[in-house]
Chain A
Amino acid sequence: MINRRDFLKNAVKGIAGLALPLAAIEIVSPRKLFAAKGETGKESKIRWAFLVDTYKCVGCGLCVKACKLENEVPYDANVTRTWVERYVLTKDGRVFADTPKGARDGFTTSKIDLGEGKFQDIKKDDIQKAFFVPKLCNQCENPPCVQVCPVGATYQAPDGVVLVDRKWCIGCGYCIMACPYGVRFFHPVYKVAEKCNFCYHRITKGLKTACVQACPFGARMIGNIKDPNDPVSRIIRNERVSVLKDEYGTRPQVYYIGISREVI
């Protein structure tokens, strides 16, 4: 029978013996690892930001179409990385909004999609104002989706873009729940969390995102907010811009020109 003194002695020895090899294992943060693998290894000189000028958007949906094709989100699946919303405000103060199929095919009818196959016709004379609002991932400075991922499969790159590791995601859906902007979904083919990543494969090679390139009216722009000479950065600093749902403390990095208070 082992006595208490021996037990404690051996336990301490055992723990000390284990601690030595265990000390060699370092808990790595994905962010650090990413930075170390990158060229600089230090603070990035780039912080990607997006600018949407809603005055210029006509709701053609070419951006949505381009995004789906570029990023291999099945064309007919009812999910999308980016979408366009239509807001119609009537003279008697009612607000209507819709985004049929994420506006992939544009807004082909003036009738508002009420879901469940129902539509609402609004007479032209009753309309006070109407406008379109493109939506995409806000690449938040303080992303709640990254915070809640139980395995760290989604992470923020040093340049601010939030990415998903398809080989690591367990598909719990917690990030989808945590996103206040509804930009996340499960990829119908890969069965993992999917989101807009500002076409990371393009922007890191000096190209524009697919949606920016597809927009015929220049309503969408992308730039480096850390570069004072960047046109997007200049507009964000000099003009009056706003962001969506800043009350959540996520510090979104998609800036809007000309959105009304009805937009959520």
Chain B
Amino acid sequence: MVHGEAWTVKELFVTPNEYIYWSVQIVMYPFMTGLVAGAFVLSSLYHVFGIKQLKEIARFALVFSLALLPVAMMPLQLHLQQPQRGIEVFLTPHFTSAIAAFGIVFSTYGAIVASEIWFVYRKYIVETALALRNKADKSTGEKIYHLIFSLLTLGSYDISEKALHQDEKAVKILAGIGIPVACFLHGYAGFIFGSVKANALWMTPLMPVIFIMSAVVSGIALCMLTYIVVMEIRKFLAARKKTTYETYESTEEIKGIEINVIKMTAKYLLFFLIFAISLELLDLIFRGYTAVKTWDILRSVIYGKDFLDIFVFQYGIGNLLPFILFLLPGLTIRRTVVGVLLVLFGVFMMRWNVVIGGQSFSLTFAGFMHYHLPIIPHDIETFKEGLFGALLVIITPFVLFWGLNKIFPVFIKEVH
């Protein structure tokens, strides 16, 4: 069977080779990179701009963005027809291609995030390594931990006041450089689509900017959601006095911190959401107003075939509804959870409507293609590019985050 045939239904005049080649994994790709970039920007708001109220969530967001980073590459690997050659994008990049920049931008960004985390956690790493070193009769687990932490110190055990001050400076610089790199990482994902001149829906210079804005929105939303979940677990543990961390406060104390952080972060979420929606609407209005040759087919896709996906799911449920939820006075945790879930859904639908919507009309401008997401996989292709492949991509960052949290606990006192 031809790639794409399993999930494409053609209607009216479509040329023989046209299928929905970029399926759900290519929806996941900008969604996941968006979360990475967004989480990083959120953490930088504290580190660079010194927004103190975000201190609590900043460290959290930083570790989370490291957990998300390898996952940004996963959908691409799952979508490639020759995944074993995927590494060639790093080794033999062809620089006129927007995708070729991936290797450079991705590794730069990874290096920045990793080194920033190292500086943030250096004191903790050194203290843990020293404590484990001095401990007599270590268990196997502790021996492994000792090895990991000793390696992580990179041989630098200096945690004097002066050294720590320098760490702080390094974090600030790295976070500062990180913001444009994070924006670039995601902006260029937008560029991959925006520069395809053959696709009438994708081709707009606004695409990278729209992608960045919605990326920040989704990143903040995911951080808020995960933060709330973790805080709820902590609250639950604190109530049962079953604490594994030394830093557990009372339930009331946690509650107080939680709602404060959430309220502050919600403001930034709204701020970026307004930007994202304005840009998307500008794009839509501009296309309608200029009404070039391709507008006829675009109009029938936007206002016809994809009306439900675009105006009901994306703008209505994904943007407007959470907007109202956050603006109403007396924000509660429960309302926030609903709000951020809707925001995440909205951003996902935006990616969906760009990637799938952009392929839902033919190059002939006289035919349509409908995408049917494979649910039950019957071969490797329908697994990789079906519901289960997408779910795999969604679950992985949380597993990684759980693992990273064992080494870089996001809730410890006395780190920057």
Contacts and interface: CB of A to CB of B under 8 A. Distances in A.
Interface of A: 1, 77-80, 83, 85, 95-99, 101-102, 114-116, 135, 144, 146-152, 168-174, 176-186, 188, 191-192, 248-249, 264
B15 A170 contact: no
A114 B12 contact: yes
B250 interface: no
B198 interface: yes
A115 B3 contact: no
Given A115-B14, A115-B367, A171 B2 contact: no
Contact of B88 (A147, A151, A178, A179): A151
Contacts of A98: 13
A168 B85 CA distance: 8
**Binding site of B, secondary structure by majority: helix, strand, loop or mixed?**
loop
B85 A264 contact: no
B3 to A, nearest CB: 4
**Binding site of A, secondary structure by majority: helix, strand, loop or mixed?**
loop
B196 interface: yes
A70 B13 CA distance: 27
A101 B98 CA distance: 33
Contact of A176 (B21, B86, B96): B21
Given A102-B16, A149-B97, A181-B363, A144 B81 contact: no
A149 B85 CA distance: 13
Interface string B1-24: 111110001111111111101100
B82 A191 contact: yes
Contacts of B231: none
7 contacts: A115-B9, A115-B13, A116-B10, A173-B81, A185-B2, A188-B1, A264-B364
Nearest to B367: A115
A182 B97 contact: no
Interface in B65-120: 76, 79-82, 85-86, 88-89, 92-94, 96-100, 102
Q: Please classify how large the interface on chain B is, using the bins under 10, 10 to 19, 20 to 34, 35 or more.
A: 35 or more
B15 A99 contact: yes
Contacts of A177: 21-22, 196, 198-199
A167 to B, nearest CB: 9
Report, nearest first, the 7 A-B pairs whose CB atoms are least far apart.
A171-B81, A152-B94, A150-B99, A180-B198, A102-B16, A185-B17, A186-B3
B197 interface: yes
A151 B89 contact: yes
A168 B2 contact: no
Given A78-B5, A170-B82, A178 B99 contact: no
Contacts of A174: 97, 99, 192
B159 interface: no
B15 A115 contact: no
Given A114-B11, A150-B102, A171 B16 contact: no
A183 B10 CA distance: 17
Contacts of A78: 2, 5, 16
Given A102-B16, A180-B198, A182-B18, A150 B100 contact: yes
A147 B97 contact: yes
A77 B76 CA distance: 26
Nearest to A151: B88
Contacts of A249: 197
A2 B101 CA distance: 35
A264 B363 CA distance: 8
Contacts of A191: 3, 81-82
A248 B22 contact: no
Nearest to B192: A174
B284 interface: no
B239 interface: no
B268 interface: no
A173 B22 CA distance: 7
Given A83-B15, A171-B85, 20 more contacts: A80-B16, A95-B366, A115-B10, A115-B14, A115-B367, A116-B9, A150-B94, A150-B97, A151-B88, A151-B92, A169-B81, A171-B80, A179-B198, A182-B17, A183-B17, A186-B3, A191-B81, A192-B82, A248-B197, A264-B365
